[in-house]
Structures are given as structure tokens and as C-alpha cells.
Structure 1
Amino acid sequence: MEHGVGVNISDDVSPYGGKSVFTQMEHNIVAGYLITAGVISLSSNIVVLLVFVKYKELRTATNFIIINLAFTDVGVAGIGYPMSAASDLHGSWKFGYTGCQIYAALNIFFGMASIGLLTVVAIDRFLTICRADIRQKITMQSYNLLILAAWLNAVFWSLMPVVGWAGYAPDPTGATCTINWRKNDASFISYTMAVIAVNFVLPLSVMFYCYYNVSVTMRRHQADSHSITALDWSDQKDVTKMSILMIVMFLVAWSPYSFVCLWASFGNPKNIPAAMAIIAPLFAKSSTFYNPCIYVLANKKFRRAIIGLIQCQTRQRITISTQVPLTTSRQPLT
């Protein structure tokens, strides 16, 4: 079969171990990207986790959400990247039916968990900046319940294709597994629409509402130079900027994949360009390594903590409690 942009994706691609619409050279290029991105993602997210391990003062309610986000990235980088890269080097999916189900379910699981946790981050920003009266009454247990809800939601949607609502199968590249969008039956369409509604439209609506109100409140504060507040607004600006960047980049990463699913639902999946079939999941996987970059670039105080860790500085040389708090929350996790 010829390959390239605009090529029709045929049904004759064997589900497991069959021929791919890409050449081995193209598979090798993808494998090289996955290996490089996996190493960067795994190492950077481990550094993020080590920062929280070293500096106990950073283990606040809000930062606990960031810790959970780092675990989702480590999960994809440590499990998804190696399996996909090995299959690309092999030229086709090499882990069989069971491996395909596990791989695809884990990728959906970590992706859904990420969007859920980002929604919790948005809610936290809204309560901290706009409704401090409510925020002061919220306990760590409430945060734990929100985080648990994000994980349980991810478990539900990742398991549904395993038990028969839609399904998992190798994509047209033959070297990775995902939702079987080539079989656009009623089961696939209903699952796709439900996922997009619950894990895309609804979270984005909540995020838009939260960050719109956050931006209005912060502008009002900046205009009122005589306002008195206990918040460190310089720190809150950094944290909010970091949170918004994470959400924007999440959209950049997952929008191509969502577009492919919508195309498969309402159009002919055979007409989806082969190039898009590989670009969409690669974009989705990229969500694992940009969050640590955002932490460093958008939050100068977190940047100090990273530098302190890398340079093996002690608490005597870098006082986290006064120089690098990521939030105003002082609720410990222990």
C-alpha cells in the first residue's frame, strides 16, 4: 500500500503484526522521537517529584495536585513510550492482543486523569483567588476527594472499551494501539461522544469559568492599589499563569486526537490521512514532557527549587518556606 498525506486507510491492515501504511524508515524516525521524548519526560518528571520529596514545605494542598499530574506523566513515559517505540522498531505491534488492551487502556487512563486533575487545579485557583472565604473552610480531605474523583473517572473511561463499549485495536500505523476508530459503529460513536462531552467539553467549561473569574479578580486587585489581602499576589500570578499554560498545552496535545475521533464518528474513517493517524497520538503523548518545562518557565519560585535540587543545595542555602512557596496554602499533607 502506498502511504502519504491523503492516502485512504484500508481495512486490509492486519490487526496484530501485519503490514503498516508506513515504511520501516518512518517507523524508525517515530521510534527515535519516542525514545528521546520518553527519556526527557521520565527524567524531568522524576526531578519534579524529587523536589517535593526534598522540600516538605512544598507539600501543600494545591501542590498535591501537581504531584498527581507528574505521576500521570511518569506513567505514560515509563510504560507507553517504551512499548510504542519497541513496536515501531519492530515495524508493527509486537505485544499481541493483551498487550494492546493494556497499552491503550493505560494511555486513555493517564490522559483522562490529566484532564481531571487540571480541572481540579482550575477549581483551586478559583477558590484561592476569588472565594477565599470558601477556600479557608476546605480541608485536605476535600482536596483528596476531588483528586480521587479525577482518578476514578479515568478508570471508568479507560475500562469501558475493554468490557465492550467501543474497543481497543492497533491504529493504521500498526505500531501503537488506541480506540478502534476505524470501526465507527454505534458503540464507538456513543463512547466517543460521551468521552468528549464528559472529559473535554465539561472540563473546559469549568476551566473557562474559573480562569475568567480569576483574571477579573486579579485585574481588579491590580487596579485597586489600596486593597488589603493576605494573598501573595506575585506568587498567585505565577501559579495562575503556570496553570493556564498547562491547560493550553493540554489542548494543543489532545485536540488532534479528538479531531480524528470526531472525523471517524461523523465521516469515513478510511479517508483519514495516514499522516494524521500518526501525528494525533504523537501529539497526545507530548503532553507528558511539557508540564515540567512549564513549571520551570512560568514559576520563578519553583525554578529556584529545581536549581536548588540540581545543585544539591541544602535548606540552609535555599529556604523554601520563604522563597519558593508555590501556593498560599499551608495545609500539610501529613
Structure 2
Amino acid sequence: MVTSYPLPEGFSEIEVFGIGTALLVQALLGFILNGLTILSFYKIRELRTPSNLLIISLAVADTGLCINAFVAAFSSFLRYWPYGSEGCQVHGFQGFVAALSSISSCAAIAWDRYHQYCTRSKLHWSTSISVVLFAWGFASFWSMMPLFGWGEYDYEPLRTCCTLDYSKADRNFISFLFPLAFFEYLIPLFIMMTAYQSIHQKLKKSGQVKVNTSTPVKSLVICWGPYSLLCFYAIIQDATVLSPKLRMMPAVLAKMSPAVNAYVYGLGNENYRGGIWQFLTGQKIEKAETDNKSH
């Protein structure tokens, strides 16, 4: 019986149920939208381009985040973590690989779009595959470190999902967080900001300001910024003084990223949207162009 398990400290019955429901809705929505993105790439020949492989890398990473959210939602409805400490480590690792690969893929897409719009150079398959392998390999490296003792995975305040433990904020955590944040958040963010700023300037000169270049950067900052701030806050102040509910919000917000990314990079891409429409309805794309246009 679900009622046989006590409520996590600091949460009411309705709050636990609300967080579980939010995680489930985010997971379902992200799973459907990213599934459409992946299936369309597989089925529609015109979409199979080196540039769109970067979008697939993002969709696969975000699907991994959705799986992570499904597990967290299920545990939230149970009101406890049923998979033990080893399961917690696996859940933390899997979520971290997916999250870091997602952020890196966003940066790779920005880098590719910069070349499309500003240098007019096409991405080759060998380069695209190498970028994807590097993004996932680098994400796996940082995600494995807590399993070997550099950093640590532990329960979120709700105690129904696991992530990087920021509650201790000891030397081990600090030495892990700074290079992690630099390589896997600040550098991708810098790449995205400079790439889209350059695209904006280029389009402004040519009078084609129809493309919204600020949305990808905003979506990354909104989804992952609060989580990054919480981790850095833990360095200067004991994060456990914050209420458990407040500390759960960045995690719930970050789980929105799969649905947001699917909208921004899949449905928000004119040509990719045409491919998804063709996959769903069988109607041929009128003009099979493969340049990525972010709206």
C-alpha cells in the first residue's frame, strides 16, 4: 500500500503527488515529441543529413532524461525510492549522462548553424559523427567520476530520485563542480551565445531578421540555470537551510528541457517540422531543403 510509507520530510501529500504528476507529464510530453523527432529522421530520407544528426543526438539525450523522469515520477507516487543505494547511483549516472549530452548537443547545433549561416560551409558526416561521439564520451566521463569517488550521487530532497549531492559542499564536491560547470555548462553556453549572436548580426545585415536566434539560449538558461545556481549556492552557503520544496524546483524545471528542446529544435525547425508532418500524414515535403532554421 502506498499509504504505508511516510511522507518525505518537508512535503505534504498533495505536494508529493503534484511533483510526481509534473514529472510524469513532462516525461510523457518529452517522450512523445522526441520520439517523433527520432522516428521522422529514421523514416524520412530527406531528413537524414549530418546537421540533423546533431538534432537526433539531442533527441536521444532528452529521451534519456524522460526515462529518468519516469522513474522519478513512479517513485514519487510510491512516496519512497524502491531501488536501493545501487539503484540511486545508476539513476544519478543515467540522468547525468543524458543531461550533459543534451547540453553539449545544443552547443553542437549552435556551432553547426553558425557555419551554415555565417561561413556557408556544410557539415560532413565524418565531422558530425565525431562531434556526437565526443559530446557523449565527454558527458560519460564526467558522469562516471562520482561513481569513482570524485563527486557523489545521492537523493534529491524528495528522496524519490537521485542526482549530484550538493548538500555536503566539501572539498570533493567543490573540486568536481568547478571543472564540470566550466566544461559542461559555461563553455556550451558561451558557444551558443556567440554563435547565435553572430547569426543574428549576419541576418540583420541582410535584412532577414525572421529567425529568432535568442530562443535556444533562453531555453538552456531557463531549464538549467536554476540547477546550476543551486549547486554554486551550496559552495558559499549550506544549501540544506533552503526548504526541501525550493531545492526540488530546479530539478523539476530541468526535467522540462526535453519537451522544450523538442519544440525549439524539432518542431521549431521549419524543414524538420515538414519532415515530421510527412512522417505523420504521408504528405510529401514540397521542397526538401536540409538547412536548419531555428525559429
TM-score for both structures, normalised by structure 2:
0.90
Aligned 8 A contact 1:169 1:177 in 2: yes
Does residue 146 in structure 1 map to residue 146 in structure 2? no
**Match in the other structure for 1:218:** 203
Aligned 8 A contact 1:296 1:302 in 2: yes
Q: Map Cα deviations across residues 211-269 of structure 1 (whole Å, 9 max, x no partner).
A: 222112122222xxxxxxxxxx79xx65xx4x752332121111111111011111112
Taking a change above 3 Å as real, the CA distance of residues 85 and 184 of structure 1, as seen in their structure-2 partners, is same
**Match in the other structure for 1:184:** 169
- Partners of 1:111 and 1:81 in 2: CA distance: 12
Q: Report SS of the residue matched to 1:327.
A: coil
Does residue 168 in structure 1 map to residue 132 in structure 2? no
1:205 to 185, 190, 193: 190
Taking a change above 3 Å as real, the CA distance of residues 299 and 142 of structure 1, as seen in their structure-2 partners, is closer
Question: What is the one-letter code of the residue matched to 1:307?
Answer: W
**Match in the other structure for 2:71:** 83
- Partners of 2:109 and 2:257 in 1: CA distance: 16
Question: What is the one-letter code of the residue matched to 1:142?
Answer: T
Q: Percent identity?
A: 25
**Match in the other structure for 1:111:** 99
Count of paired positions: 288
Q: Which has the larger radius of gyration?
A: 1
**Match in the other structure for 2:3:** none
List alignment gaps of at least 5 residues for structure 2: 1-5
**Match in the other structure for 1:307:** 277
- Partners of 1:19 and 1:283 in 2: CA distance: 20
Aligned 8 A contact 1:260 1:272 in 2: no
Aligned 8 A contact 1:113 1:154 in 2: yes
Aligned-pair RMSD on alpha carbons? 2.2
Aligned 8 A contact 1:302 1:324 in 2: no
Question: What is the one-letter code of the residue matched to 1:198?
Answer: F
Does residue 47 in structure 1 map to residue 36 in structure 2? yes
Question: What is the one-letter code of the residue matched to 1:127?
Answer: H
**Match in the other structure for 2:250:** 280
Q: Report SS of the residue matched to 1:323.
A: coil
Question: What is the one-letter code of the residue matched to 1:154?
Answer: A
- Partners of 1:127 and 1:47 in 2: CA distance: 27
Q: Report SS of the residue matched to 1:263.
A: helix
**Match in the other structure for 1:6:** none
- Partners of 1:110 and 1:296 in 2: CA distance: 18
Q: Report SS of the residue matched to 1:63.
A: helix
Does residue 194 in structure 1 map to residue 194 in structure 2? no
After TM superposition, the structure 1 stretch with the greater mean CA deviation from structure 2, 186-195 or 207-216, is: 207-216
- Partners of 1:18 and 1:160 in 2: CA distance: 32
Taking a change above 3 Å as real, the CA distance of residues 296 and 119 of structure 1, as seen in their structure-2 partners, is closer
Q: Report SS of the residue matched to 2:154.
A: strand
Structure 1 runs (4+) deviating above 6 angstroms are none
2:232 to 262, 265, 270: 262
Question: What is the one-letter code of the residue matched to 2:75?
Answer: S
Q: Map Cα deviations across residues 69-117 of structure 1 (whole Å, 9 max, x no partner).
A: 1101111212x12211121112122211111001111111111111111
Aligned 8 A contact 1:60 1:327 in 2: no
Q: CA deviation at 1:124?
A: 0.7
- Partners of 2:246 and 2:178 in 1: CA distance: 20
Question: What is the one-letter code of the residue matched to 2:287?
Answer: Q
Q: CA deviation at 1:306?
A: 2.5
Q: Report SS of the residue matched to 1:169.
A: strand
Aligned 8 A contact 1:263 1:272 in 2: no
Q: Report SS of the residue matched to 1:178.
A: strand
**Match in the other structure for 1:66:** 55
- Partners of 1:47 and 1:218 in 2: CA distance: 30
TM-score for both structures, normalised by structure 1:
0.80
